[in-house]
Structure 1
């Protein structure tokens, strides 16, 4: 099963409750929590707060290591198979929508072409992501709507797939067919004003907990050179502050705004999946209703 929804909606707490009730283990589906040292900025749950529940796909890479959706799919599916082999229940949790879909659904990734990829990456470095994003919009408007303008890596991948296959990038995205028919997705439903306030509080807490020092340390470890980790929200804003390009207050405000934009995209992506069972974040029977949805899926 998977717990999905926007950043700061309450997914982590629900996943722990479910793992306790179901005899489960947690599988992280957040693209940035796989990186060692990226703790405060990704709201990674400290070991002491994991209730003794095994967690997987946390702290497996250095910030210099790249990671693709295809690789993450393979890692997660291997972890899921091992958890089931122990007679336990895998509980996926994270806000990286494409990663979650790639793990849960039938999805074969299109190949790559090193020459095409290198050409596009060179162009990205030369003209910036906004120019390539406009090119993507011309050939695949739906993909452009789904990919943030500043996410140069995903823009390059989308254009690469278009050039290699001659089809829109969106044509290669997962179909809504679970690899395991017994899968259930629980969406944590939260209203926008409450979520926006939670995000602001979370960012304030991050900075108070030493986020700037965390980013400074990771920059020394190669964060800026990391093709995946280097684009994480908050980290790039604090890096700009440390480089003297913006003030600390501006870094904080940009982090809040970028997180809010990202949360809207998360919500939009998950809302398009009719299989998600949405339950209010503040429902007093949240856990019981979730377990009822799981039982209904297993007996249908």
Structure 2
């Protein structure tokens, strides 16, 4: 008879709701009870080395000796796809559970967190077809490629901004492979056993205030210098990293497109929009148990079943 595996505790919620700190608190509490636990990151931007301030990545001191997985594993020039992240996160959690350790899955967008825990399959890819369209993108630019997409699938093109070269290339690749460009999201079904999802909720005004304060703190902590230091390491060439909230705006500041106040305001506004969008997705998930942000780790113990 197979042994029962440790549960998976998933913490979701808006930016600045305290997920990272609560995860460490919970891991420490469980360890004191003789139930080892470690944190698994589900935020696609925390994988990048050197992107610390703008991602609010927990510092070594803030991790307090609790092991964190899927942090600082990629260079800014690499691309962290959802499918790859799904594989890495599931592998990390399977390894922990196999050693009797409770994974605490933290953060991430609804797309990434659902891809990790849910029944979630991805359309196929073909490196040769992808390379063809990427070469075309480099040759003619996203606007021309978008026009080609309009000619082939107007409905799909209408959902993609003309300047989003990455998504246009992916859409044309899928068309060449005769695959659906608009797959329906799967139903709310866990692919993994033993998952409990807890959401941290904040009043909208409090959330906005915390986001604004966080952006100001990022500037004080040296976000502009951080981005400047990443440029020689290839930040601009990183298809994913360069588009991260905070980094994209600071690159605009460094290029003289906007001033410093405009950059701060745009980072805060983009973060607020992102938080609202993600909350909208999470609110549709009936499996999430919502609790007030700011609660203590012991308040989460009822959500951690015994193995």
Q: Please, what TM-score do these two structures have when normalized by structure 1?
A: 0.86
**2:98 counterpart of 1:85:** yes
Q: Could you tell me how far apart the structure 2 residues matched to 1:130 and 1:198 are?
A: 40
| 1:17 corresponds to which of 20, 25, 36 | 25
Alignment of 1:1-300 (within 5 A): 1-22=9-30, 23-114=36-127, 116-118=129-131, 121=134, 122-123=136-137, 126-128=141-143, 138-139=155-156, 144=159, 152-154=165-167, 156-157=169-170, 160-161=173-174, 164-171=177-184, 173-282=185-294, 284=295, 286-295=296-305
Q: Could you tell me how far apart the structure 1 residues matched to 2:104 and 2:126 are?
A: 35
Q: Could you tell me how far apart the structure 2 residues matched to 1:157 and 1:266 are?
A: 23
Quickly say closer, same or farther: Cα 1:90–1:149, change in 2 above 3 A: farther
The answer to whether the 8 Å contact 1:140/1:170 transfers is: no
Q: Please, what TM-score do these two structures have when normalized by structure 2?
A: 0.84
Specify the SS of the correspondent of 1:78: helix
Q: Which has the larger radius of gyration?
A: 2
Quickly say closer, same or farther: Cα 1:40–1:116, change in 2 above 3 A: same
| Structure 2, unaligned runs of 5 or more | 1-8, 31-35
Q: Could you tell me how far apart the structure 2 residues matched to 1:191 and 1:278 are?
A: 13
Quickly say closer, same or farther: Cα 1:151–1:127, change in 2 above 3 A: closer
The answer to whether the 8 Å contact 2:142/2:163 transfers is: no
Q: Map Cα deviations across residues 228-259 of structure 1 (whole Å, 9 max, x no partner).
A: 11111110111111111111111111111111
Greater helix proportion: 1
Specify the SS of the correspondent of 2:198: strand
The structure whose RCO (Cα within 8 Å, separation 6+) is larger is 2
Quickly say closer, same or farther: Cα 1:69–1:148, change in 2 above 3 A: farther
- The Cα RMSD (Å) is 2.8
| Structure 1, unaligned runs of 5 or more | none
Partner residue of 2:6?
none
Paired residue total: 289
Of stretches 106-115 and 266-275 in structure 1, the one that deviates more from structure 2 is 106-115
